[in-house]
Amino acid sequence: MSGLPIRILIADDHPVVRAGLRAVLETEPDFAIVAEAATAEEAVELAAAGGSDVVLMDLQFGRGMNGSQATAAITARPGAPRVLVVTTYDTDADTLPAIEAGATGYLLKDAPPEELAAAVRTAAAGRTTLAPAVADRLMNRLRAPHAALTRRETEVLSLVAEGLSNQGISARLQLTRATVKSHLAHVYAKLGVDSRTSAVAAALELGVIRR
């Protein structure tokens, strides 16, 4: 980093969380907190304006764009800052979209301060840091690819968990009912179940979806 501080943008919709992250990171002599964003849209705008090296990105914002969508928008630009996801969520439904969107690292909010600082430096250097629980999930998916649901299958199953019918899922995702049925058939086969209730229960236990 040629002796220059690592410039950090904190994106989280909770002021207390932003203040806590700022307090922790400002104790590091090689860090500079250059901006804060309360929405994902604001994070994208500030990142595009330049001046930051690493964006600490939450995943769930109150309304509008979520953290994964913001990560994709940020990393799509040339010369974009690195995105380090810092969140409370560690299920496949959260981690996979974020990593696919281009996040350099994925850390949980209960990580100790020294781990957070190390992850920021690692992200700034363009290397990957994953929370142990997230790394374990990804390794398990690689070891058992037959059980790995696609992003669309996960979306369908999440809506089943919310209580939507096939018709409701079809309308929400703008798919034909036949396509929804096909996705569910694949989900049942991968999870080794034969009903909607069993599929939801198995997916929750595996951490594929969350309530």
pLDDT digits (tens, 9 = 90+) for 70-97: 999 999 999 999 999 999 887 777 787 8
Choose among 128, 89, 83: nearest CA to 110: 89
**pLDDT on residue 1:** 44
Burial 23-60 (b: 16+ CB within 10 A, else e): eebeebeebbbbbbbbbbbbbbebbeeeebbbbbbbbe
Tokens describing residue 142: 């690689």
Class of domain 6-140: alpha beta
**pLDDT on residue 141:** 64
Question: What contacts 104, CB < 8 A, 6 or more positions away?
Answer: 82, 83, 84, 122, 123, 126, 127, 128, 129
Distance CA 166, CA 168 (A): 5
Q: What is the pLDDT of residues 106-126, one digit of tens each?
A: 999 999 999 999 999 999 999
pTM value? 0.70
- Pairing of β 129-130 and β 82-87: unpaired
Domain boundaries, given as residue ranges, for the chain: 6-140, 145-206
CATH ID of 145-206, from 3.30.572.10, 3.30.70.60, 1.10.10.10, 2.60.120.10 = 1.10.10.10
**pLDDT on residue 142:** 58
DSSP SS3 for 65: coil
Q: What is the pLDDT of residues 18-44, one digit of tens each?
A: 999 999 999 999 999 999 999 999 999
**pLDDT on residue 2:** 55
User: Does residue 51 have a pLDDT over 90?
Assistant: yes
Q: What is the pLDDT of residues 132-187, one digit of tens each?
A: 878 877 776 656 655 678 889 999 999 999 999 999 999 999 999 999 999 999 99
